[in-house]
Chain A
């Protein structure tokens, strides 16, 4: 086996990676544009976000609970924003793959960031849920008929109305990215070893 025989093989593989990554990147950008369009449609053409509506805020038990309601509203604005950033980073990851960067620092950092975004999103959603619980029973409260506990794959609730599944998923992505980063560093160090 010589270099002349292997080179076209590698090129063919790289070409395949480029084509598939480009398709995946375009699909992810499509999802991103669809999400932005959907949000704009809801917020601009159908009125302000529900939580900023004073009529809904009036369902809070007392007037002093309005700041809590407003905080929850602000937090609910961040979650779609995080989804957009998530799609953007995913598109970036496929862009790196398209350029032939597969096990590099950039790609691994990108995967780690995607996991971190899952964790941040979970924190925001949980905080919002807790803030809304403080405002008493209202539009966003879970119905009393809901089970006390719920345990499914990557989705479990201990009865607080908070789904811990996304937190677990995000943490696993971060850990796997960390392991890959360590593996990459080991490879680099071994290459440097004389």
Chain B
């Protein structure tokens, strides 16, 4: 392996990463446009389906359920933005940077919020708090577990990246 070979190898690897990130970005854009259209179509046609319940007009949907859906939609949107930013960083050749870690952490936090909101759905829809069920649903929500694990992995990566930077600074 010589010095002349290495930059071309690295360049080909970087270009592969760029291509894949660009492709994923396009797929995600299409996915979120389709998701948005499906959501809009679901609210235009009647009956409007919100979770398991059907409503004949938007006015019939209770305000609490509207808030719940708005929260869920905003979480989708924030997660999409975070993932898009992460792919942007990969496309720019930044793979182990602080920005990547922060986006991964953000995805984890959003997953936790999503798990909590989904578990709280009965409060919004039926105005009831089932005591042992609600905390158990929250505790064993796959979103909550996945979110916590993602945050821990992001934190470890962040620390690892800081260690690398500090070791590079060592004379």
A140: interface (CB < 8 Å): no
What 0/1 pattern do residues 76 to 109 of B give for CB contact below 8 A with A? Answer: 1001000000000010000110000000000000
Place the interface of chain B in its size category: 35 or more
The secondary structure that dominates the B interface is helix
| CB neighbours of A178 from chain B (8 A) | 20
Given contacts A2-B171, A13-B159, A194-B3, contact A179 B95 (CB under 8 A): yes
**B residues 10-56 with Cβ under 8 Å of A?**
10, 13-14, 16-17, 20-21, 24, 34-35, 38-39, 49
Contact A189 B10 (CB under 8 A): yes
Interface size for A (C-beta < 8 A) is 41
Closest CB in chain A relative to B10 CB, distance in Å:
5
Given contacts A24-B149, A103-B96, A151-B39, contact A10 B13 (CB under 8 A): no
Q: Which of A97, A147, A179 contacts B156 (CB 8 A)?
A: A97
Which residues of B pack against A, CB within 8 Å? 1-3, 6-7, 9-10, 13-14, 16-17, 20-21, 24, 34-35, 38-39, 49, 72, 75-76, 79, 90, 95-96, 114, 145, 149, 152-153, 155-157, 159-160, 162-164, 166-167, 169-171
